[in-house]
Amino acid sequence: MRILVTGANGLLGQKLSLLLDGKEDIDLVATARSVQAIPLKRGTFQQLDITDKEDVTKVISEVQPEVVINTAAMTQVDQCETERERCWLSNVTAVAHLVESCERANAKLIHLSTDFIFDGREGPLKEDALPKPVNYYGESKLAGEKLVRESNIEWAIVRTVLVFGATAGHSRSNIVLWVKKSLEEGKTIQVVNDQWRTPTLAEDLAMGCYLVASKKATGVYHISGEEMMTPYDIAMATARFFGLDLSLVQPTDSSTFKQPAVRPLKTGFDISKARAVLGYAPRSFADGLAILASQIQK
């Protein structure tokens, strides 16, 4: 199976590329806007800017993938709120380019989405929960989903929650790495205790994407961890795991933060469909920390 991955230099993109590169039955073409971040043993790499329609048309027509997995997106929630044109270009217009090229190539599109399409009134959420975004990032990702759903191609949408992990060169941060770095530097951090998520190990999300592709699954799948945790819970668990000063982690609530974008309070996913249909089995948060620790010590 020939699979083209977009956003291959991102956290998920790197983990997914490494996973697919190790599968003998997969012909991987990893793509990203910038130069290649990780070496591949079997797969190939091409630069691709998915916001450039001509570039998308050219690359997909040349590669002729059976499956395109779109991990590329603008995910900085506050930047999406303040840079709306850029956000729409990356999260909606670019998806339209991919849909159009997949239709011409008769390729399936597996598109990554987010828990931020929901309003945060309840969780954990099943796939049929009613979307109602409370920020522009969520609006853009929901609009991208709509383009995929209404297309004439074979598709699957993989939604996820608060992804953490370590990239090559540790070039990208996330909540776990931020907490670890801050506490190692002796900084006091304030972390909200009134938001709930199911944090997701990047390797688990990559496996979920692979399972959707290999099992030829279609429709919407919620792929995340299964433990409901607040960011404060995550910070304390991280501090304990790495033997850092717990007193530096101070609980607070969302009302104390003045951010451009509103965050949904309670999301998190019910992953029973992914378990039953795909055989998806995420690691515990503690096991995820151990995997991350082994990677950053190399």
**Which pLDDT does position 170 carry in this prediction?**
64
The residue range of the domain holding 16 is 2-167+199-228+267-284
119 falls within a domain: yes
**Residue 164 three-state SS:** strand
**Which pLDDT does position 63 carry in this prediction?**
98
Distances in Å between the Cα of 247 and the Cα atoms of 60, 186, 189, 194, 261 are 52, 10, 10, 19, 29
**Which pLDDT does position 10 carry in this prediction?**
95
**Candidates 136, 137, 232, 280; catalytic one:** 137
Domain count of the fold of the chain: 1
160 falls within a domain: yes
Question: What are the residue ranges of helices labelled H in 22-128?
Answer: 53-63, 77-82, 84-88, 94-105
Q: Which residues of 5-36 are buried (b: 16+ CB within 10 A; e: fewer)?
A: bbbbbbbbbbbbbbbbbebeebbbbbbbbeeb
**Which pLDDT does position 272 carry in this prediction?**
98
Tell me, yes or no, if 137 is annotated catalytic: yes
147 falls within a domain: yes
Residues 134, 172 contacting (CB under 8 angstroms): no
57 falls within a domain: yes
**Using alpha carbons only, what angle is made at residue 72 by residues 156 and 5, rounded to the nearest 5 degrees?**
65
CATH number at residue 151: 3.40.50.720
56 falls within a domain: yes
Taking only the tens place, the pLDDT of each residue in 206-252 is 999 999 999 999 999 999 999 999 999 999 999 999 999 999 999 99
88 falls within a domain: yes
Task: Please choose, from the candidates 64, 65, 91, the residue with its C-alpha nearest in 3D space to the C-alpha of residue 77.
Answer: 91
Taking only the tens place, the pLDDT of each residue in 168-214 is 776 668 999 999 999 999 999 999 999 999 999 999 999 999 999 99
Q: Structure pTM?
A: 0.97
Residues 198, 233 contacting (CB under 8 angstroms): no
Confidence of residue 119 (pLDDT cuts 50, 70, 90): very high
State the average pLDDT over residues 137-154. 98
Q: Which residues of 41-75 are buried (b: 16+ CB within 10 A; e: fewer)?
A: eebebbebbbbebebbeebbeebebbbbbbbbbbb
Q: How far apart are CA 30 and CA 9, in angstroms?
A: 9
Taking only the tens place, the pLDDT of each residue in 8-61 is 999 999 999 999 999 999 999 999 999 999 999 999 999 999 999 999 999 999
Distances in Å between the Cα of 149 and the Cα atoms of 103, 109, 128, 217 are 13, 10, 14, 14
28 falls within a domain: yes
**Which pLDDT does position 171 carry in this prediction?**
61
DSSP-assigned beta bridge partners for residue 158: 112, 221
154 falls within a domain: yes
